[in-house]
Structure 1
């Protein structure tokens, strides 16, 4: 397939672009003027300029949006511009669109405020026959919130930290497993479907302990909010997100099934 990747220079997007290339697809990368360089063929466009996206996304067998969210207005305008191109769209939202109760691929969204507009994005993509991937907390190869936030906090405090009460669970996925899921969705998933990128459910205090050499303590929510804003509250949302249907229907088999072991052993 001829595929355009949005976010190909980012953490998730770069792994997704590599996975599609290794699977034999013809990959191009949306490239912002003056932005980062990708090893893939550049196509000029900018998520911050929705008017540039329709022309950039025209003529592809698939457009994969794995770029970072920019905010409600920009994200909604961007998805409308991409859909106007007429190329099939595979869009990334995330487990933050789901609530605290057990959820599967059919569970109605109950988003955290930091993702309040993403259910509407999902609705528009699915109504147009696109597909949606909801990753959990992504880790591996030195990226994501684990590396960007939790590892730094552990180094700063001399022990791992989690926000709020112990026992909160999150869906997590290794970035290479997630990249393989995008290829599986592109090659085997029906239009108008939602898929969950979850390798396991892990306790955030266990992740913190793995980062802290076996010790971890709570970062009070009020203190975390003062530094992180609304994002801090997301870390207190206990989630059990199933990917059973995704695994069974797409024959997706994550290879990384213990983030705690991964962090303790320093694997990539």
Structure 2
């Protein structure tokens, strides 16, 4: 396939682009300039310029949107433009689109206010025959919020920290396992379907203890909000989200170490 990856230089997008390339597909990256970057063909376009997205996405067998969220106006306009381009769209949202509690691939979106528009983004993609991937908290390869926020905060304080109350659960996934899922969705999944990229559910106080040498303390939500903004709330949702259908239908089988094993091994 000819595949356009939006966000190909980002954390998730770079892993996705590499997975498609290894599988023999011709991968291009969206960029504000044309030419070649990092040995990859580049197509000119800007996520905040819908007309450029229509032109950039036309003619591809698949468009994978793994770019950063930019807010309601820009994100919904980008979805509409990519749908108008006519190439099948594989769109990334995330676990936060489901709110707290138990959920699976059939659960209706109940987004946290921080990402309130993402349920509508999913609806528009699915109505056009596109596909949606909802990743959990992504870790591995030195990136993501585990390394960039939680580990950094533990190093700063000399003790692991979790936000709010103990016992809060979140779904997580290794970035390489997640990239493998995108490939499966693009090559085997039916149009108009939702898939979950969540390999396990972890307790954030246990993650904090692993990062803090066995010690963990609560970071009060009000203090975390003052430093991090609204993203702090996402660490208090308490989610237990199933990926059973994704595993059973697509044969997705995450193979990387669990998050706690990854951290014990110095990841």
Distance in 1, matches of 2:23 and 2:59, equals: 20
Between the two proteins, the alignment pairs up a number of residues equal to 267
Query: Which residue is 1:264 aligned to?
Result: 264
Q: Offset of 1:143 from its aligned partner?
A: 0.6
Mapped contact 1:164–1:221 kept (Cα < 8 A)? yes
Query: Which residue is 1:211 aligned to?
Result: 211
| Gaps in structure 1 of 5+ consecutive residues | none
Distance in 1, matches of 2:124 and 2:47, equals: 17
Give the alignment of 1:114-129 within 5 angstroms: 114-129=114-129
Q: Offset of 1:257 from its aligned partner?
A: 4.8
Aligned to 1:217, the other structure's residue is in SS state strand
TM-score (norm 1): 0.97
Mapped contact 1:114–1:230 kept (Cα < 8 A)? yes
> Does residue 240 of structure 2 align to residue 243 of structure 1?
no
Larger deviation, residues 178-187 vs 221-230: 221-230
Q: Deviations over 1:68-127 (max 9, x none)?
A: 101110001111111110000000000000121210000011111111000000000000
TM-score (norm 2): 0.97
> Does residue 175 of structure 2 align to residue 175 of structure 1?
yes
Distance in 1, matches of 2:115 and 2:39, equals: 31
Distance in 1, matches of 2:38 and 2:48, equals: 19
Query: Which residue is 1:254 aligned to?
Result: 254
RMSD of the alignment, in Å?
1.4
Query: Which residue is 1:142 aligned to?
Result: 142
Query: Which residue is 1:104 aligned to?
Result: 104
Query: Which residue is 1:23 aligned to?
Result: 23
| Gaps in structure 2 of 5+ consecutive residues | none
Mapped contact 2:33–2:42 kept (Cα < 8 A)? no
Distance in 1, matches of 2:201 and 2:40, equals: 34
Q: Deviations over 1:40-92 (max 9, x none)?
A: 21011111222210000000110000001011100011111111100000000
